[in-house]
Each structure stands twice: as structure tokens, then as C-alpha cells.
Amino acid sequence: MTVSNGNTGLSRPPLQYSGSLSHLDYVEITPIIGREYTTAKIHDILHAPNSEQQIRDLAIIICERGVVFFRAPQDDLTIDEQKRFTVLLGELTGRPEGHGLHVHPLFRDENNIPMGNGQHDESIYVINAKAAQKLYKSMKQVQRTEPKDPGLEWHSDCMFEECPADFSFLRMEETPPTGGDTIWCSGYELYDRISPSMRTYFESLTTTCAQPVFKTAATAGGYEVMSPRGSPLNVGDSFSPIHPMVRTHPVTGWKSLYAAIGIHVTKINDVYSYEDQMIRDYIMRLITRNHDSVARWKWTKQSCAIWSNACTLHAATPDTHLVVNSDANRTGVRASGTGEKPYLDPASKSRREALGLPLN
């Protein structure tokens, strides 16, 4: 089947939940997005007699709900188990053969901090705001005369790759006393809130997702970027793929607003610059005016979030510097799987259409 935006691929039937996780207690964060497992331990799922069935079911739930949280401390889960779990989430739901865990382009940089066990792992990205400032010190610093816009933080992981991340698994090792929450927005719901005519137009658009900072940082540090990075297609240092603005989720078959806004989207292709800004402003308005499509997570030590990048945007809340009398930093370890090259299957449906839900 030929699909739009220059990609080709075969439509496949949506995967169905088998019920193997029905014994776990959970609450839905909102009716639209997010689920919290209140007491479940990922270690137990990984080592259950029917572990592959449970992990596959969890992956399907993540793809339907967008993001799943584990509140109970996951302190019995090793880094190797976190990596293995992330690998299985994709392998059991059709990740392309030869694709594995993403490798951060700047893994060789001396400013990368180790994990809590004191070790480095090329398949684990350690998230730490203070370390990131050193890692990206080659970026041009802008003198601000206005407050920082947190809306610029929205993104899906690894959109700067030909094959971006499918699942991301973040475990928080250290948390500040307050601040540093992460928010997720449903790309499914954003698509459903767009008028039919505008949907058709957006489905015709692609965006360039460039991140030249990786090449400049590597040059400044005197090393080469990592390559390949989780896929034979993720090589080199150009970091400027073209992705569809609307994509089809490979697991659910639902349409999602994808490469449309945020820190990785540098240009909406084939439109004038003022039209580019107009479209971005419209999408930001969708997010801010439809806050029922957003889930917010307050981190606690060793809590976890696992999300599908194909159907969500997320953003860290950059407010830990406001915490009084505290170092107020947070450190997390993230593993991300590498999915397929994003595509739009014109035969796919929106989430509400597929589930028979009314618009209001």
C-alpha cells in the first residue's frame, strides 16, 4: 500500500489486549490520557511465567493510553532489566527487525554523568538539567529580555532521527522536594480536535526535524557522534529527517498529530515562514485550550513513566531553579527503543472514530 508523504508500507491490523494485566490495580490519570499502576512492580511483570504476554499487553495499553506510570518505587529493577523491558515492549509489538535501543549521539562527551551505580551505558541517557547545560555548552546563548516560554519544551523523543523512538522508559533516581513535573499531551486527541478540512491539509504536510547542536557539540568536544543509533538508518551527523505532521500509530492504527511543534521541529515544509508560524500558533492553541488532553506527573524517587512517542508530546517543567534552600535537581535514567520510520496510512482512523466516541 502506498502511503502519503513519500513513505511506503503495509497497513496492519491493530493489536488487541488479552487481559493478562487485569489483576493489577490502576487509576486513569484522565479519561483521555495516562494510567497509573499504584502498586505494580515492573520486575514482577518481567519475571512472570507469562511475561511476554504481560509485556505485550502493557505495550498495547501504553499505545492506547499514551503514557503509563508506576508509582511504587521500582528499586528492585536493575538497569539491565530496564533495558530488556524496553527492548521487549517494541519487539513484541512489531518493531522493525534490526532495531534496538537508541544511543544518544553525544554519549562520548565527557560531560555525560554516570548512572546511580557509577557506570555509563550507551543505551541509557541520564537526564540531569545541570549536566545538560554542560553537554550543550556550544549552543548559542540568547540574552533573554522576556520570561522563558515553557511551551518550547514540547517534543517527542528522537524526532531528529530517521527512525525516532517508539517507547521511552524513564525511571527517576533523584527528585527535588518540589518541581520538575513532566506533562504529556495526547496526539490522538489533538488530531480529533481539528476540523475535518484542516485534518486533510495537515495530512499533506511534512516537517524537517533538525538538531545541528549535536554536530557542533561533538566538534567542540573533539569527538564523533555515535553511529549507528538503534537502527541502521540512524547514522551520520546530519540530523535533519523529514517526518509527516500526522502519522499512523503502528500498534493501534490510530492517527496522531506528530511532527508539528516543539524543540525538534525546525521547519514546516512547503509553506511560507509566516504560514509556518501561524500553524505552530494554532497547534499550541490546541494544546493550551484543550487541557483535558494533558496528563501531569509528579515524580517520586524510583517512580517510572513509560510512553509511546508515536502518539504523545511531552515536556519537562523547568522550575526546579525556583526551589528555595535546595540543590533542586532531578536525575533520571531513560531507555528508548527505536521504532519505524514514521508514516501515514490514509486508511487509518482517528482514535474517537475507531472507538465510536462522540467529539463532545
* Confidence (pTM): 0.93
Which ranges of 127-195 does DSSP label H, i.e. alpha helix? 129-135, 187-192
pLDDT of residue 15: 96
The one-letter amino acid code at 212 reads P
- Grouping H, G, I as helix, E, B as strand and the rest as coil, residue 349 is strand
pLDDT of residue 204: 98
User: Is 195 within the bounds of a domain?
Assistant: yes
Total domains in the chain come to 1
Task: Cell 508523504: give the residue.
Answer: 5
DSSP 8-state secondary structure symbol assigned to residue 281: H
CATH at 325: 3.60.130.10
- Grouping H, G, I as helix, E, B as strand and the rest as coil, residue 84 is helix
| 93 closest CA partner among 250, 232, 310, 231 | 250
User: Is 144 within the bounds of a domain?
Assistant: no
C-alpha cell at 86: 524496553
User: Is 16 within the bounds of a domain?
Assistant: no
User: Is 19 within the bounds of a domain?
Assistant: no
β-pairing verdict for 35-37 and 67-70: parallel
Per-residue pLDDT of the chain (360 residues; tens, 9 = 90+): 234 444 444 477 899 999 999 999 999 999 999 999 999 999 999 999 999 999 999 999 999 999 999 999 999 999 999 999 999 999 999 999 999 999 999 999 988 888 888 889 999 999 987 777 776 665 555 566 777 777 788 999 999 999 999 999 999 999 988 889 999 999 999 999 999 999 999 999 999 999 999 999 999 999 999 999 999 999 999 999 999 999 999 999 999 999 998 899 999 999 999 999 999 999 999 999 999 999 999 999 999 999 999 999 999 988 877 776 666 678 999 999 999 999 999 899 999 999 999 987
User: Is 158 within the bounds of a domain?
Assistant: yes
Q: How far apart are CA 105 and CA 229, in angstroms?
A: 7
User: Is 43 within the bounds of a domain?
Assistant: yes
Domain that holds residue 119: 29-138+150-354
User: Is 2 within the bounds of a domain?
Assistant: no
Say what angle helices 79-91 and 51-65 make with each other, to 10 degrees.
70
User: Is 82 within the bounds of a domain?
Assistant: yes
